[in-house]
Amino acid sequence: MNKTELIENIATKSGVSRAVATSMLDATLGSITEALAAGDTVAILGFGTFKVSERAARTGKNPSTGAALEIPASTVPKFTAGKGLKDAVNTKK
């Protein structure tokens, strides 16, 4: 499912226009992004938790040449699925 299909699904299930569904999705994703950029954690009960994690600097290897290279430290977003989401996915088998 891509963003357009998700917007269509939201519009159908909530009974609103695609324009309203688009603004709802954009506002939700924007709010999550802003919170993570500020270093906050976003927990959605039954769905999962979005949080920020720090990666330490490390030495890597160029796969084509084998030369060592320094990979700088970075901050990355992480998502941990909640019980409700895990259960929903596991019952689909």
The string of pLDDT tens digits covering residues 15-51 is 999 999 999 999 999 999 999 999 999 999 999 999 9
Mean pLDDT of the chain: 94
Q: Is the pTM of this model over 0.85?
A: no
- Which residues are within 8 A (CB) of 72 and not within 5 positions of it... i.e. 6 or more apart? 57
Q: Is the pLDDT of residue 92 over 70?
A: no
The residues that bridge with 59 in the sheet, in sequence order, are 70
H or E segment at 23?
helix 18-37
Give the pLDDT score at 91.
Answer: 84
* Rounded distance between C-alpha atoms, residue 13 and residue 2, angstroms: 16
The residues that bridge with 75 in the sheet, in sequence order, are 54
